[in-house]
Structure 1
């Protein structure tokens, strides 16, 4: 059995990955709230932004956490196409979940469907990302812990979507995103504790890219995307503010409403 280290850089990777998960969640919830206040094309754009933010946040969280993943006795490489596929899956599935909530008449059903879809998306992203890991040896999983991690993902996603539908104040959104970040992180580490590695030492070279060659630059790029989008969303006026400024310019018409 190889000894697994989940934090080869100490607290840096768990803390950083938690920050990424929270940022993605905060931005996603903020955009979902905006989407619900908008209509037509504007609503669709907000929902796509929300999904890409949550998807990016979750994916970046996973791989930033993976930067701290080490196994004694073997190097670790990542399969590039599978890693990219896990990012696409995260985006698409979260998008489906967010749209289910944004466009449905029946709130409860939309919430359960959206939560289930998004949660399964998070879990499949995690295990696809894990499938991209290349090392000298066999990777095994503990089924009960895997099931628990999937359950955490579904519950976390449902709670986050519920929060997006029911809370409007910035403070509440911040609270919800901290909770969602914690849930996504706990899902990740539960999934990681389910992993066991049977190392077969070998001098052969591994296929794939090292974390620093590939995952680190990608995570930095996506992290930058999250922060830039956050700034843009924070600065753009809400529907209410737009209506207020429009009605301030047309005092006569607005009093007729």
Structure 2
């Protein structure tokens, strides 16, 4: 018996919320990647790790927010918590591989293609592993062509996001990329859901009573506790971005920030400092150091 699948149990609320979450995770993650690539003074591994974690959390949270609206008529739905947690780890890990590859090797064609394919397959794997976490009185099956299309969308979206992060540092470009990536990730999710069919085993088991959800719990009440941690993490990452101006500056602003910092030692030039220490300054051009021989006055 074929089950009736409904992916929009709350109407447009879950698609819009999942899209906004995907955009948020993408925006924060891409800005962290740009920060690591274009500011040599930044701690590259830390920013790349934060970028991978935010994008991965955004992908995972997008999926399970959308799944709060998922229903199969007449049967209960539950989730395997271990597979749900594993899908989050997978999302962060595969995005991390792509982000670190581009962060350290650059956006040459070979690296970008390999990182995009790997990350895209990981995004698709996160989706289908999350679907495997479903516990219901039936068997899931998929239309092969539609699954292939969802994987292609994930690969293209991942490649485009990595290329944008490595090629553009301006905030407008990053914002546009985040909106497009959010749309692609949401599109990948709902394309994968369109490929889904459920073949029911029957309703003879007492744990699957028509009209109930695993002991009276709805999918929202089951998934909400799992979503709290990743959502809080995205909020904290957003706070980090808000309090680091370099993450939101446009193209060229980083270049104007550096000279202001190099000018700081000139303000306190009257303080006697040993020449050996000045030679190792990271903030003053060598030409300025070579032309300054003013002796201490009155000492």
Deviates more, 1:163-172 or 1:122-131: 163-172
5+ residue gaps, structure 2, are: 209-213, 248-253, 270-283, 289-299
Aligned equivalents of 1:19, 1:197: Cα separation in 2? 28
Aligned equivalents of 1:174, 1:4: Cα separation in 2? 34
Aligned equivalents of 2:169, 2:229: Cα separation in 1? 30
1:214-253 alpha-carbon deviations (Å, 9 max, x no partner): 4212223312211221121232142937634421312473
Deviates more, 1:212-221 or 1:64-73: 212-221
> What does residue 164 of structure 2 align with?
163
> What does residue 264 of structure 2 align with?
249
Aligned equivalents of 1:91, 1:52: Cα separation in 2? 5
> What does residue 201 of structure 1 align with?
203
Larger radius of gyration: 2
TM alignment of 1:10-159, pairs within 5 A: 10-39=11-40, 42-104=43-105, 107-159=108-160
Aligned equivalents of 2:204, 2:41: Cα separation in 1? 57
> What does residue 279 of structure 2 align with?
none
Contact 1:136 1:202 in 2 (8 A): no
Alpha-carbon shift at residue 172 of structure 1 (Å): 1.3
Aligned equivalents of 1:105, 1:190: Cα separation in 2? 31
Higher fraction of helix: 1
Could you say what the CA RMSD is over the residues aligned between the two structures, in angstroms? 2.2
Aligned equivalents of 1:137, 1:8: Cα separation in 2? 19
Assess, with a 3 A threshold, how the Cα gap between structure 1 residues 40 and 236 changes in structure 2: closer, same or farther.
Answer: closer
3-state SS of paired residue (1:68):
coil
Assess, with a 3 A threshold, how the Cα gap between structure 1 residues 68 and 39 changes in structure 2: closer, same or farther.
Answer: same
- What TM-score do the two structures reach when normalised by structure 2? 0.80
Alpha-carbon shift at residue 254 of structure 1 (Å): 4.2
Aligned equivalents of 1:143, 1:197: Cα separation in 2? 15
Alpha-carbon shift at residue 149 of structure 1 (Å): 0.5
> What does residue 281 of structure 2 align with?
none
1:2-38 alpha-carbon deviations (Å, 9 max, x no partner): 1111110011100000000000000111011011024
> What does residue 224 of structure 1 align with?
232
5+ residue gaps, structure 1, are: none
Higher RCO by CA contacts (8 Å cutoff, separation 6 or greater): 1
1:122-162 alpha-carbon deviations (Å, 9 max, x no partner): 00000000000011111111111111111110011001111
Aligned equivalents of 2:184, 2:106: Cα separation in 1? 28
- What TM-score do the two structures reach when normalised by structure 1? 0.93
